[in-house]
Structure 1
Amino acid sequence: MTIGVKPPAWFWIVAILLVAWNAIGVYFCVGQIQHGAMSAMWEQTPYHRALYATLPAWYNWCYAVATFGGLLGALALLLKEKRARVLFWISLIAVIVQFGYTFSITDIIAHEGAAKVVPFPVFIALVAAFSIWFAGMATRKGWIGAR
Structure 2
Amino acid sequence: MRDGRTNEGRARGPWWYRVLVLLLILWGAMGSYACYTQLTAGADAMGAASDYDRALFARLPGWYRLDYSIATGTMLLGGLALLLRSRHAVALLTVSLVAVMIQFGWMFAMTDILAVKGPYVLYFPLLILAIGALALHLAHLARRRGWIA
The TM tier, using the shorter chain, reads over 0.9
Confirm whether residue 50 of structure 1 aligns to residue 55 of structure 2: yes
Matches of 2:46 and 2:128, distance apart in 1: 18
Spell out, residue by residue over 1:13-71, the C-alpha distance to the aligned partner (whole angstroms, 9 max, x if none): 0000000001000000000110113x122111111111111110111100000000000
Q: How does 1:15-34 map to 2 (within 5 A)?
A: 15-34=21-40
**What runs of 5+ residues in structure 2 fail to find an aligned partner?**
1-7
CA RMSD of aligned residues (A): 1.2
Aligned length: 142
- 2:94 pairs, out of 89, 97, 100, with 89
Percent identity over paired residues: 42
Q: 1:58 to 1:4 in 2, by over 3 A?
A: same
8 A contact 2:38–2:46 mirrored in 1: no
Q: Conserved in 2, the CA contact under 8 Å of 1:4 and 1:144?
A: no
Higher-RCO chain (CA-CA 8 Å, sequence separation at least 6): 1
Question: Match of 1:100?
Answer: 105
Stretches of structure 1 that go unaligned for 5 or more consecutive residues are none
Question: Residue in 1 aligned with 2:5?
Answer: none
The aligned residue for residue 61 of structure 1 is: 66
Confirm or deny that 1:122 pairs with 2:137.
Answer: no
Q: Distance in 2 between matches of 1:91 and 1:72?
A: 9
Report the TM-score when normalising by structure 2: 0.92
Are positions 1:79 and 2:117 aligned together?
Answer: no
